[in-house]
Amino acid sequence: MNSFYSQQAGCTVRWHDLPGTGDPVVFIHGLGCAASYEYPRVVRDPLFGARRAILIDLPGSGYSDKPLHYSYRTSDQARVVVELINHLKLDTFWLYGHSMGGSIAIETAGLLATRVKGLMVSEPNFHAGGGMFSRSIAAQTEQQFLEQGYDAMLRAETTAWAGCLQSNAPYAVWRGASSLVEGVEPEWEAQFLSLPCPVTLIFGELSLPDDDVDNLQQKGVAVKIIPAAGHSMSWENPSALAKTLAGCMVV
């Protein structure tokens, strides 16, 4: 486990740097998750190959600090990822983000466009309004979520995600969800389509049909489908995700 102090977040951010060859892949996790929890199984799958992988726990999540004063907005989290990439002195790298992490990855790629060899996003937020999960959180006030909503969500969760959610500060979850509902300008889809690097959209088979898939395919975006998996594809079919990511990084 490695760490550095983020000026953007005002806290210590931690990540795994798993050794391998070639340009590294930076993994950005989604809301209520942590890359250190979610991606070791994927990047150590034989189908992923022997590529170097950097798994960042964003502020508020996993092993990273959880400052109360920080915004946890997607744009600020993207700047934290940029800080890490500059700290590591990465001239070129691949970028992968899932769900909210996909939206953060899109903003990160926009800030470091000439250094990103390719961007892969799985089921990201492309538009304001959030998904069903983030909307249900943001519909509460922050205080309501801190006092009741977070604990109720943990009690109701029966999947592996519950273990990861416990590593997240509840105020970080609420502010991240509210950021997704509020959105950004230009919206994430427009930023995604304007990037100069190759871009790939990844979806779980069980999440289909989806309007974003149809729309972006019509606009020429490469779409990859993970079989026998839904939104939580890194847990539901990690080998297929590993194979798909490796296939996106062929140059």
* Tokens of residue 50, six digits: 């022997």
Burial group, residue 196, by CB count within 10 angstroms (0-12, 13-18, 19+): exposed
Preceding peptide of 40 cis, ω within 30°:
no
CA distances from 185 to 108, 173, 175, 251 (A): 14, 22, 18, 32
Helix/strand/coil for 121: strand
Longest Cα–Cα distance in the chain = 50
- Residue 186 is predicted with a pLDDT of 97
Q: Note the Cα 74 to chain centre separation in Å.
A: 10
Order across the sheet with 11-18: list the strands: 2-6, 11-18, 51-57, 21-28, 93-98, 116-122, 199-204, 222-226
The model's pTM is 0.97
* Tokens of residue 242, six digits: 């590993």
- Residue 59 is predicted with a pLDDT of 98
- Residue 251 is predicted with a pLDDT of 66
Angle (CA) 87-25-175 rounded to 5° is 70
What tens-digit pLDDT sequence spans the chain (251 residues)? 999 999 999 999 999 999 999 999 999 999 999 999 999 999 999 999 999 999 999 999 999 999 999 999 999 999 999 999 999 999 999 999 999 999 999 999 999 989 999 999 999 999 999 998 999 999 999 999 999 999 999 999 988 888 899 999 999 999 999 999 999 999 999 999 999 999 999 999 999 999 999 999 999 999 999 999 999 999 999 999 999 999 999 86
